[in-house]
Structure 1
């Protein structure tokens, strides 16, 4: 076997080729890491946004979207009195009739962006158990409470959604009086209004949905209630199932992420192959000389693989460092909220496997071609 130092020295024989190989592999690994982190982040936030203990009552025929759903106001009281076994705090049933709305919102800086509104009463805190008020208090009329990632959705600095700031919707102004968190859920990107305010501004006399938190009750109990009250035209769905369906809805977007990453990566891989073909073709005589002094083709092949792996794994390290500073913790807005990119063990593992495959499988064709010529003709080729 050739000494490892031989492969190491060969890396620096052509600095331009080394830079191209390291840069190309770094680009491929970075794209794959970004694609995996993006898809994993979106799946994670949708998977954790719903609770298995919550059931959503929606208008029949609108199970795919809460925003399009319409539920009669009297359905909230009817559900509270008819369904036994709901969770409660201090005698107050954990049931929350809510209005969902998405519309442009203007900040004090004049920035106008699409925002996610949720019209609620204080009973919403009994249902959404992950919500915790970080600063301030629950909103009353003329006030709003914002998720601590709402500024990301609006594309503004966090100062624009601080307590005391004014947000404008339609012709009305609302003062921010509270900031809340709901870790790893879409709620963190929402803006919570007093339900009556949002109903008046949007001219709605119906709710979008009613969320129930079960204690001893089961999903079947809620579903039976919807069958008994046909006049209310309700449909029941588990909250976690609703967000699971949303994840399926976003599958084409995730596929497009993979396709884009694959296309760019393919371009980088083919460019790297061309570089290796040219580099190894210039070393046919060198490989033949080493064979003539006793080294086997197998030993030379292993040395070429080592040389390539050193370059691609260096590129992989560069990709990880870049991803750590540019991607890790980055918050990405999408239609129903925001999610964060995280360099999880799975993401890092995919990057390492990609770097290893680039250094091995990507080296096979040019290495075989370099070692294929017969020894006499290879020695005369210089």
Structure 2
């Protein structure tokens, strides 16, 4: 076998081609790690947004979209009395009537951004126990409370959504009263406001949903309630099941990220094949001389694979460094919330595995093509 130092010396002997291989493989590895992180982040935030201990009462036929659902304003009180075994807070059933609305909010001047607004009462904190008010207070009429990541969704600065600042919605100015978080959920990118204000500003006369927190009750109890009160035209589903459906709805978006990354990787592989073929063909005389002094073709093949893999692993290392230093923790907004990119150990392992694969796949065909001819043919070709 040829020493490993032979492969490294040949790698740095042509710095231009070496840099080209490192940058190309690094870009491919970074894109694949980004695709993996994006998929995991989006799926994780959607799955974590729903609690299996909560049940959502929606308008019949609106199971796919909470924003299109219509529920009578009297349903929260009727559900509190009609579903036995709900969790209680301060002796009262944990039931929250809510309005969900996706609309334009003016942040500064005439610039408007798409926002997710949720009209709530203080009882929303009884059912959404992951929500914590970090600063300020729960919104009163004329006020709005912003999620910790709402500024990413609204494409503005966190300072612009600080307490005391104002936003405009449907030509009405709302004062920011507080900031809340709900770690790992889509709620962190929402704006919460008084339910009466949102009903008035959107000219609605119905709620979007009613969220109930199960105590001793089960989903079947809520489902039985909806079947007994057919006049209310309701369906019951676990909050976790609703967000799991949303995760499946966004699956094509996640797959598109993978498809784009794979297509770019395929293009890079073909480019690498051309680069390595040109590099190896220029060394045919060298290969013939090494075979003449006793090194076999498989020893030469192993050395060429080492040379290529070393370059692609350096690219993978560069990609991992960029990911950890500049992209890890980056918040990415999407249509119903925001999530963070996390370059976790298994994603980094995927990147280095791809680096090894690129080195082998990119070098094997041109290396074998140059080493396949017999020694005499190789020397004549040189």
TM-score range, shorter chain: over 0.9
CA distance in 2, matches of 1:110, 1:371: 67
1:264 deviates by 1.6
Gaps of 5+ in 2: none
User: Does the Cα contact within 8 Å between 1:99 and 1:120 map onto a contact in 2?
Assistant: yes
User: Does the Cα contact within 8 Å between 1:114 and 1:154 map onto a contact in 2?
Assistant: yes
Residue matched to 2:252: 252
CA distance in 1, matches of 2:158, 2:109: 12
Residue matched to 1:57: 57
CA distance in 2, matches of 1:88, 1:122: 14
Q: Counterpart of 1:68 in 2: which secondary structure?
A: coil
1:325 deviates by 3.0
Q: Counterpart of 1:179 in 2: which secondary structure?
A: strand
Instruction: State the Cα deviation string for residues 288-337 of structure 1 (Å, max 9, x = none).
Output: 11111111112111111111111000000111112223321111111110
CA distance in 2, matches of 1:108, 1:135: 22
Matches within 5 A, 1:77-92: 77-92=77-92
Q: Counterpart of 2:362 in 1: which secondary structure?
A: coil
Q: Counterpart of 2:231 in 1: which secondary structure?
A: helix
CA distance in 2, matches of 1:218, 1:245: 20
Please tell me whether residue 149 in structure 1 is matched to residue 149 in structure 2.
yes
Judge which range, 325-334 or 166-175, deviates more: 325-334
CA distance in 2, matches of 1:109, 1:49: 33
CA distance in 2, matches of 1:93, 1:363: 67
User: Does the Cα contact within 8 Å between 1:99 and 1:118 map onto a contact in 2?
Assistant: yes
Residue matched to 1:288: 288
Residue matched to 1:11: 11
CA distance in 1, matches of 2:268, 2:338: 31
CA distance in 2, matches of 1:98, 1:334: 22
CA distance in 1, matches of 2:111, 2:93: 39
CA distance in 2, matches of 1:240, 1:344: 25
CA distance in 2, matches of 1:45, 1:174: 28
Please tell me whether residue 351 in structure 1 is matched to residue 351 in structure 2.
yes
Q: Counterpart of 2:263 in 1: which secondary structure?
A: helix
* TM-score (norm: length of structure 2): 0.98
Residue matched to 2:36: 36
Task: Report the aligned-residue RMSD.
Answer: 0.9
Residue matched to 1:278: 278
Residue matched to 1:215: 215
Matches within 5 A, 1:213-252: 213-252=213-252
* TM-score (norm: length of structure 1): 0.98
1:287 deviates by 1.0
Residue matched to 1:159: 159
Residue matched to 2:183: 183
Q: Counterpart of 2:13 in 1: which secondary structure?
A: coil
1:110 deviates by 4.4
CA distance in 2, matches of 1:316, 1:47: 30
Q: Counterpart of 2:260 in 1: which secondary structure?
A: helix
